[in-house]
Structure 1
Amino acid sequence: MTHVLHRRIAHSYPFAVSGHGITIRDSAGKEYIDASGGAAVSCLGHSHPDVLRAMREQVDKLAYAHTSFFTTQVAEELADDLVAHAPDGIGHVLFLSGGSEAIEAALKLARQYFVESGEPQRRYFIARRQSYHGSTLGALAVGGREWQRREFAPLLIETHHVSPAYEYRGRRVDETPQAYGERLARELDDKITELGADHVSLGAVPAPPGYFQRVREICDRHRILLILDEVMCGMGRTGTLHACEQEEIAPDLMAIAKGLGGGYAPIGALLIQDKIFATVAGGSGAFQHGHTYMGHPLACAAALAVQGVIRRDKLLANVRTQGAYLSRRLNERFGNHPYVGDV
């Protein structure tokens, strides 16, 4: 009998006892190929020696120091590293314990920014239907999966949703990809107008050619913050460190996690535009938010080592190479299959 509340209560889980590279071994000696990297997390595989070494060195020096009283060298170095490779205008980083926490922090910081800017009426968030941004209450509110939201609906903050950028299902026969993207951008613009531009805090949406640029333009025109959730698609997964690099835009706030620490320790981060930092720094002087384990030295050491390996071993270039190969082979095999679309 287990005393752990597992994700599925009636399910009997194998005991994972070790991992190396792409494999995980259970207590019966059976090996599993971890093809998904867990929840799209283990970007370097398991037991990478460089990451384990960095974690051992850090825990021998200092395992924990509360961020109300201290900073640490490893947190400062990781922040410097992330800012050096961040989109334009990103100048500060808040370290948390995962993606949901990063989204929660983004929602709160967006709200605090407008309060301290003298616009407390801005309280609406716009996201996309069918999206997933985490399972905590704020993240669930901006997410678009109704089946996950339903029983918690009375507890959720008011949010609004627009169509997802799903070209395969959503583009009309008579539309070009560019026209489809423009139609979705207009839907966002119309939603902002419906709510009143001076009541909206952010818009968050992905998509087809030119769509992201239009979303950025719309947010700028209405002075709305653009929050990007790159928890899953960021930190190298799409062949660039940040997926938004391929769209040639910069967000106001961006959540990252998963590939940040590669599963070696729980860590997420919120990347923050300078204008937001400057407003809070020149106003109240403090972000009204905090967790016990934010900026954890061991997690920061793991993440710093993971990012170092990604650059040293030129893994972003390898992602692009392997991605092109996989796309070609999948299209060769399934491109004309009657039951497969949108390869």
Structure 2
Amino acid sequence: MGQLLSTSSSSRRSHLLPSSASKAPLGKTEADILLSDSSSELSHPFPTEKNNDNATNTQTPTLLPLLKKAKGHYYYPVSGPKILDACGGAGVACLGHGKSNKSVIKAITTQISTVQYASYAHFRVDPVLQLEKFLCESTDGKMGKMYLMSSGSEAVEAALKFALEYHAWNGQPERVNIISRSHSYHGTTIGSLSASGHTTRRQPFTSVLNRTNFHHLPPCNPYRSPLPREEYLSSLLTSLESLITTLSPSTIAALILEPIVGAALGCVPPLPGYLSGIKSFCHTHGILLIYDEVMCGMGRTATSPSHHLHAYQSFPEPDISPDMMTIAKSFSASYLPASALLISTPLSNFLTSHNKVFTHGHTNQSHPVVASACLAVQGTIQSRNLLSNVAAQGGLLLHLLQKQLSQHPNVGDIRGRGLFVGIEFIADKTTKQPFERELDIASRVHKTALKNWQVLVYASQGCADDQGRGDVIMVMPAYDVTAKEIRDMVRRIAGAVREVFGSLWVA
């Protein structure tokens, strides 16, 4: 009977590691390749092929398919078959691709011909005011003000800055500490990356990251805990209480977390009682609670008949609303780059009553065309009742993936909410031992799925430990996906998983 190839046998695994990317033809530049009708690949600016030198993280570029067009739920490369989009990039293209969303395109072009830009410091514009009203109403009035920006990293950076300035306004400038969690990811800027607890994404920049004022708690990841759930929950909240005591409550400005963790863990929801316990500690000690819903929010994790727009609203716990919340990705479906920081009504009222202005701004903040795009996207989601579809097709997606893959010896956990589902791969099902990092299992599944099964999934590493081990793929299709397409996605994904692990077995 065959057995899984040992992850500690370098001599036997060498042929399994990804080979170096092929080079462009001699004498041809990337521009030549891009302009050539016969070329189907272009060098990617972000390296993805790793060698075995983890200390230096040396990498070489890989080649990605060159796209001709994208339409509906498919990508069409210059050459080769069309590719079924099962992840919308990083969970972004929530309305799919192309001209089918005519109302969004019309809103953008109309706004460009009306007011294409106005500095937020000089003018107010109607689409920004309408968008703020819509977002605040979507939280049942819990949020009271919006700062519209371009990326999730910007929104997180703004949230951290707001927390510090708010406490300074309140005569507490000594509140300079930020609490976040291990195995978390909050963005690419130095501040947001300092808050992040994803080891490998932090590694190249550790020398300049702020390790004095940023402190990390253990994540809430039930699959990785040997404790019974109630005992595990208690241990997590005890860890928070201990850290608050160690730092001193009067020095802590904010705590930031993803209500449902995205790329860093792979679609992991919290235990019941976790968010309410976190909020209770924050409220008691005057610590601002920030929800990073950049990836999990704006309808992505809708599961219930009420079809709430925000991830935290899907948990049946009494008032767990945050003091601040960041959103992006499905906010604009990436018709245009968009993100936002929402602050609570009490914080908004504080600004007004104390005549305070947040010391923060970007050139394209409160951009009228971006606001118009976001309004049109959210209007489309509402008018087509797509959150109902997210709940229905999300339930089907999770059920079918579990049916197809839960018994696979190298599939450890399948979890998520709505159209936000992660599949974690393990070397041993009993011990939950992760694969060695250099085997690049998640990347291998991603590449096999793309090349041999023509389906795009999102791959990530580092969900199991601080050595960057732990492989997961994420499935995050568009909100208007059909049951037929869900079944097709699952068939292709399951086929790719079986193919990859079939190649890892020896007689």
Q: Is the CA contact (8 Å cut-off) linking 2:44 and 2:64 kept in structure 1?
A: no
Residue 73 of structure 1 corresponds to which residue in structure 2?
126
- The answer to whether structure 1 residue 335 and structure 2 residue 403 are counterparts is no
The aligned residue for residue 153 of structure 2 is 100
Matched, 1:162 2:217: yes
- CA deviation string 1:210-268 (max 9, x = no partner): 11110011111111110000000000011131110123410000000000000100000
Query: Which stretch has the larger CA shift, 105-114 or 61-70?
Result: 61-70
> How much has 1:27 moved relative to structure 2?
3.2
- Partners of 2:373 and 2:80 in 1: CA distance: 28
Deviation at 1:33, TM superposition (A): 1.9
Q: In structure 2, the residue corresponding to 1:202 is in which secondary structure?
A: strand
Supply the distance in 2 between the matched residues of 1:145 and 1:316 (Cα, whole angstroms). 30
Higher relative contact order (CA 8 A, sep 6+): 1
Quick one: which of 321, 328, 335 aligns to 1:250? Answer: 321
Corresponding residue to 1:196 among 216, 235, 248: 248
User: What's the counterpart of residue 292 of structure 1?
Assistant: 363
Say if 2:128 is the partner of 1:45: no
Question: Matched residue of 1:56: which SS?
Answer: helix
Bigger mean CA deviation after superposition, 41-50 or 254-263: 41-50
- Please identify, of 44-53 and 222-231, the stretch whose mean Cα deviation from structure 2 is larger: 44-53
SS in 2 for 1:251: coil
Match of 1:123? Answer: 176
CA distance change for structure 1 residues 301 and 88 in 2, over 3 Å: closer, same or farther? closer
How many angstroms apart in 1 are the aligned matches of 2:174 and 2:207?
Answer: 22
Aligned mate of 1:36, from 87, 102, 106: 87
Number of equivalences? 340
Question: Which residue of 1 is the match for residue 71 of structure 2?
Answer: 20
Partner residue in 2 for 1:2: 30
Matched residue, 1:217: 280
Task: Output the CA distance in 2 between the equivalents of 1:95 and 1:82.
Answer: 11
* Aligned 8 A contact 1:132 1:143 in 2: yes
Cα gap change, 1:88/1:163 in structure 2, threshold over 3 Å: closer, same or farther?
farther
What SS does the aligned partner of 2:144 have? strand
The separation in 1 between residues aligned to 2:82 and 2:407, in whole angstroms, is 35
C-alpha separation between the residues in 2 aligned to 1:95 and 1:225? Answer: 20
Matched, 1:265 2:336: yes
CA RMSD of aligned residues (A): 1.8
Residue in 2 aligned with 1:227? 290
Q: Which secondary structure state, in structure 2, belongs to the residue aligned with residue 288 of structure 1?
A: coil
1:78 and 1:296 mapped to 2: Cα distance? 11
- Tell me which stretches of 4 or more aligned residues in structure 1 moved more than 4 Å: none
Greater C-alpha radius of gyration: 2
Normalized against structure 2, the TM-score is what? 0.64
**Which secondary structure state, in structure 1, belongs to the residue aligned with residue 65 of structure 2?**
coil
Question: Could you give the per-residue CA deviations for residues 159-188 of structure 1, whole angstroms, max 9, x where no partner exists?
Answer: 00010111000242xx2x233122111111
Structure 1 Cα separation of the partners of residues 394 and 63 of structure 2: 35
Secondary structure, aligned partner of 2:215: strand
SS of 1:80's equivalent?
helix
Are 2:397 and 1:326 equivalent residues in the alignment? yes
Percent identical pairs in the alignment equals 37
**Pairing 1:305–2:401 present:** no
CA contact (8 A) 2:331 2:377 kept: yes
| Unpaired segments ≥5 residues, structure 2 | 1-28, 32-42, 48-59, 260-269, 303-307, 415-507
Question: How many angstroms does 1:154 deviate by?
Answer: 3.2
Further displaced range: 148-157 or 284-293: 148-157
Contact 1:116 1:284 in 2 (8 A): no
- Does the residue aligned with 1:93 lie in a helix, a strand or coil? strand
**TM-score relative to the length of structure 1:** 0.94
What is the SS of the residue equivalent to 1:245?
helix
Deviations 1:109-152 (A, max 9, x none): 01111000111100101101010011111110000012222332
Distance in 2 (CA, whole Å) between partners of 1:71 and 1:289 is 17
Do 2:328 and 2:339's aligned partners in 1 also have CA atoms closer than 8 Å? yes
CA distance in 2, matches of 1:209, 1:59: 46
Q: 2:136 aligns with which of 58, 83, 88?
A: 83
List alignment gaps of at least 5 residues for structure 1.
Answer: none
Give distance in 2, aligned partners of 1:144 and 1:204. 11
- SS of residue in 2 equivalent to 1:342: strand
Q: Which moved further from structure 2: 274-283 or 260-269?
A: 274-283
Separation in 1, partners of 2:204, 2:235: 32
Instruction: Give the Å deviation of 1:30.
Output: 4.7
